[in-house]
Amino acid sequence: MNLDSLDKQILMLLQHDSSLKTKEIASSIGLSITPTYDRIKRLEKEGVIKKYVAILDKNAINYAVTVICHITLLKHERSLLAKFENEIGKIDEVVACFHIAGNYDYILKVIVPDLNSYRDFITNKISTIENVSNVHSSFVMTEVKNETALLL
């Protein structure tokens, strides 16, 4: 996708505040409302804009524990990888999953209310997935940076 400078300005604005109205965006980029609206719709249609979300304060809703889980699988057959990924996709506590190269096979970002909830997550969800060999958990002490916006 070839993005021009106006597209990039629109995307930067929406990344920082997806609740902006088309009129506000148009005013910020120096374009009228209709072409701004058309650009936003094109960016949505072409999949550049995947969705609009509200980012919540985890502590305000009592989700105080963030854990990075390093997962090792027993076997690396394509069907077993697909099955693992399918099962992980169903688990609400997992907010991100990355298939990686290196010492581990997957990294999960897990957010739970407390340590008891994390124990239940490991015991009742992760340990029931076929082919999981090892789980190494790293507990986040402080979030130094956790951005969602991409620099364009």
> What CATH number should be reported for the domain holding residue 134?
3.30.70.920
Indicate the helix (H) or strand (E) that contains 109: strand 106-112
How much is the pLDDT for 116? 98
Residue 125 lies in a domain: yes
Q: What is the pTM of this model?
A: 0.88
Distance (Å, whole) CA 40 – CA 24: 13
Residue 53 lies in a domain: no
Domain of 70 in residue numbering reads as 59-139
Residue 149 lies in a domain: no
Distance (Å, whole) CA 21 – CA 150: 21
Do 73 and 108 belong to one domain? Answer: yes
Residue 146 lies in a domain: no
Closest CA to 59 of 15, 97, 114, 96: 114
Do 66 and 132 belong to one domain? Answer: yes
Structural domain count of the chain: 2
Q: Strand runs (DSSP E) across 10-99, as ranges? A: 65-73, 94-99
> What CATH number should be reported for the domain holding residue 37?
1.10.10.10
Residue 151 lies in a domain: no
Closest CA to 107 of 143, 147, 72: 72
The pLDDT tens digits along the chain (152 residues) read 799 999 999 999 999 999 999 999 999 999 999 999 999 999 999 999 999 999 999 999 999 999 999 999 999 999 999 999 999 999 999 999 999 999 999 999 999 999 999 999 999 999 999 999 999 999 999 999 999 999 99
Do 32 and 102 belong to one domain? Answer: no
How much is the pLDDT for 1? 77
